[in-house]
Amino acid sequence: MAQLTRIEIRAPYLVLIGDTEDPTYAKTGYGLVHWQPERVLGQLRFPGCGADLGVPDMDIAQARALGAQSLVIGVAPAGGVIPRNWYQAIEEAARAGLDIVCGLHIRLHDLSGVVEAAKASGARLIDVRVPPSDIPVASGRKRSGYRLLTVGTDCAIGKKYAALGITRAMQAAGIPATFRATGQTGIMLAGEGIPIDSVVADFIAGAAEVLSPDNEPGHWDVIEGQGTLFHPAYSGVALGLLHGSQPDAFVVCHEATRTRVSGWEEYTLPSVGECIERHLELGRRTNPGIRCVGVSVNTSGLLPAERETWLADLAQETGLPCIDPLIDGCDRIVEGIQTTYGVRAP
């Protein structure tokens, strides 16, 4: 049986976001600051950077003097590569003895200058996006325990945040639950997982089975979604994850003011209703009992006075609890799950 990718990142971190212009692509940095703020020391930005993680700006020497142990590359740009003008800072950090943590498709071990600098100082190079080598083809066999998958109308729309929030709400309610990470930031936060978008296509569903194996009857695996079925580039990973996860429940993630696919502006986003119907249709292939149990919405683009009405209208349209997890928490979704599935704390 394939083993999960496991990593250990030494804290505190200096998070590199460089000259990233679009804050959407700095989602790794934002995720680390939001979920583990005690582990983030500061951010390293270059002139022209359009993102701000809300932590102190500092250079490598300052961070090292303050006790930084790791430089984490805090971006997730399309294609998983970074500009060459970032390499100098990464090499400098490695020479200073900082571990370098990268969750992109590029491999630190392929960058000769970084390798040499790390070898000289003893720094570790941690490539997060390396899947296990022995992932099986999916069996399609039904597994014990419950599974919930977060899905979305687009990429970078809150699937990780919803999965983490739902996991914490379940645990607070006394329900056995485990967050199952499928992306670079989730793996950094959880310390283990499988980088689904780095798995060879034939094995994506099998990787999802490895990620969420047989478990106790009342246990929930809350699986971090990736991509979207509606994306012109990334739909394949979303479908493989859906089929392999065999979710009993799914939560749709959406952004209230987004109307077009981020970075592919010629494509419009589906409605929440269409997203629900498509996941039910395709998800029934491996789990005929699949249900949608809620909608998680990023309402940051709405005025405060608009937010409650917008969510109430969506709840009436879908018949589901509709929440902004960063404002409302995820208790209403968990309460609905308890009612629907008869789940009670042991």
CB 252 within 8 A of CB 276: yes
CA distance readout (Å), 51 to 194, 294, 346:
27, 30, 44
Alpha helices of the chain — where are they, by DSSP H? 27-35, 60-65, 87-95, 112-121, 159-172, 184-190, 204-211, 235-245, 272-283, 304-318, 325-328, 331-341
Number of helices (H), then strands (E), in the chain: 12, 15
3-class DSSP assignment, residue 146: strand
Instruction: Give residue-wise pLDDT tens across range 184-196.
Output: 999 999 999 999 9
Predicted TM-score of the model (pTM): 0.93
| Position 1 pLDDT exceeds 70 | no
CA dihedral 79→260→229→255, nearest 10 degrees, is 100
Domains of the chain by start residue, with CATH: 5-127 (3.40.50.720), 146-341 (3.40.50.300)
* pLDDT confidence bin for 343, thresholds 50/70/90: low
* pLDDT confidence bin for 344, thresholds 50/70/90: low
CB 259 within 8 A of CB 158: no
Confidence at residue 78, expressed as pLDDT on a 0 to 100 scale: 73
Q: How far is CA 339 from the centre of its chain?
A: 27
Instruction: Give residue-wise pLDDT tens across range 129-147.
Output: 999 989 999 999 999 999 9
Percent of the chain residues past pLDDT 90, beyond the cut:
90
How many CA atoms does the CB half-sphere of 34 hold within 13 Å? 18
Of the candidate ranges 1-5, 34-38, 66-70, 293-297, the one whose mean pLDDT is the lowest: 1-5
Mean pLDDT of 28-47: 96
| Position 313 pLDDT exceeds 90 | yes
3-class DSSP assignment, residue 170: helix
Q: Say if residue 144 is exposed, middle or buried (CB neighbours under 10 Å; 0-12, 13-18, 19+).
A: exposed
The phi and psi torsions of 150 (rounded to 5 degrees) equal: -90, 130
- The rounded distance, in Å, linking the Cα atoms of 64 and 61 is 5
- The rounded distance, in Å, linking the Cα atoms of 26 and 34 is 12
Instruction: Give residue-wise pLDDT tens across range 156-174.
Output: 999 999 999 999 999 999 9
CA distance readout (Å), 183 to 102, 190, 191, 226, 289:
12, 10, 11, 7, 26
Confidence at residue 81, expressed as pLDDT on a 0 to 100 scale: 81
Mean pLDDT of 240-246: 98
CB 139 within 8 A of CB 243: no
Residue 13 DSSP symbol: E
Q: Are strands 249-255 and 146-152 parallel, antiparallel or unpaired?
A: parallel
DSSP lists the bridge partners of residue 255 as 298
**Per the structure block, which two tokens stand in for 192?**
């283990």
* pLDDT confidence bin for 3, thresholds 50/70/90: confident
Mean pLDDT of 206-229: 96
Q: What is the mean pLDDT of the chain?
A: 95
CB 307 within 8 A of CB 332: no
- The rounded distance, in Å, linking the Cα atoms of 173 and 337 is 11
How many CA atoms does the CB half-sphere of 69 hold within 13 Å? 8
